[in-house]
Structure 1
Amino acid sequence: MIDLPPILDVEASGFGRHSYPIEVGYVLPDGSSYCSLIRPLPHWTHWDPAAESVHHIRRDVLVQHGRDVQDVARTLNDALRGRTVFSDGWAHDYPWLAALYEEADLVPSFRLESLRGLLSEEEASQWEATRQAVMREHRIERHRASTDARLLQSTLRRLRQAA
């Protein structure tokens, strides 16, 4: 059995300084997962249509169906407490999680690390081709947080099985 780490992904309103998290999802080593839309705060106004064309989440959907930042941060803390969680987009995901936790007035109970740190040079060189193959095989079309987290974990599983 291959030991797989917990993987987290964040979708956001755009890229850059004024962007904010709009969805967070994770998948745990046992395959269980969580995903939640995040209701934008009144001062979270930046919206990039290019980002929306990737994740296909409209701002009005977030306003109507998103959960409160404190609820999302507490849920993450309860589920991920004491764990090291990995992200393939650490440079983006870390600031977006920081914004979530700052607005919730909470501190994460887990550490977020770069998935790249888990990969050997050979695995890193095969990552993108393997990820694309897994996407095709599983017919993954939805670019959403928990789906992306599961795709990343499946890609890591495939690379480790091949080793």
Structure 2
Amino acid sequence: MSSAIPFIFLDNEASSLTTDSYPIEIAWVRQDGSNECFLIRPEPEWTDWSEQAEALHGLSREQLMKEGHPASEVAARFLCDVKGARLVSDAPPFDRAWLETLCGVAGKTTPVIHPVLEAWVEALRTHEGSSAQEEAALLTRVRRMEESRRKRRHRALPDAQELWRIWKDLGGR
């Protein structure tokens, strides 16, 4: 039982976890495994920065200024690519706030973001006829994968790909 509306697996990295934070990297993975990833050049008014966050993702503000793409271009590309899809994330409130900041630069409305658990549950439903023991084993595997994923350095593309891989391993199509 698969929905006709495709999932897109989303992850952002940000300047900090404060209310003044902004997105510095965005990645999304489509159901077929293809993906996009962009470093985002901070807008002049985006000044918040956390050294703790930098230690987690390994991106410096200087690197973003040199290698980042203009926020309005990233927003336009993202919004074009995700139109008509169900965006899922492992941290919807944070990702929504960062997308509001990003989409705001382009004067666009932020799409809805759902918890990734929705995609994983839907993928599990494709195992009709599997036993409760088999489903429990799959969920245990998901928990272990999620725990190991959270211990690694945070970067948007590997994190979004890991959300997609779990979905795929659970039977996502």
State if a TM-score over 0.5 links the two structures: yes
User: Which has the greater radius of gyration?
Assistant: 2
Does residue 114 (structure 1) correspond to residue 112 (structure 2)? The answer is no
Write out aligned runs for 1:87-106 (5 A): 87-106=89-108
The one-character-per-residue Cα deviations of 1:91-128 (angstroms, maximum 9, x if unpaired) are 110000001111221224x4321112344495666533
Match of 1:54 among 42, 56, 76: 56
Residue type of the alignment partner of 2:112 = R
Does residue 147 (structure 1) correspond to residue 150 (structure 2)? The answer is no
C-alpha root-mean-square deviation of aligned residues, in Å?
Answer: 2.5
Residue type of the alignment partner of 2:15 = S
Q: Is the 8 Å Cα contact of residues 119 and 167 (structure 2) preserved in structure 1? A: no
Runs of 4+ residues over 4 Å off in structure 1: 119-126
Q: 1:115 to 1:124 in 2, by over 3 A?
A: farther
CA distance in 2 between counterparts of 1:89 and 1:124 reads 19
Identity %: 31
TM-score (norm 1): 0.82
Residue type of the alignment partner of 1:54 = L
Does residue 33 (structure 1) correspond to residue 35 (structure 2)? The answer is yes
Q: Is the 8 Å Cα contact of residues 116 and 124 (structure 1) preserved in structure 2? A: no
Does residue 68 (structure 1) correspond to residue 83 (structure 2)? The answer is no
Q: Is the 8 Å Cα contact of residues 35 and 145 (structure 1) preserved in structure 2? A: yes
Q: Is the 8 Å Cα contact of residues 120 and 166 (structure 2) preserved in structure 1? A: no
TM-score (norm 2): 0.78
CA distance in 1 between counterparts of 2:143 and 2:53 reads 21
The one-character-per-residue Cα deviations of 1:23-65 (angstroms, maximum 9, x if unpaired) are 0000101111000011101111111111111110110011111
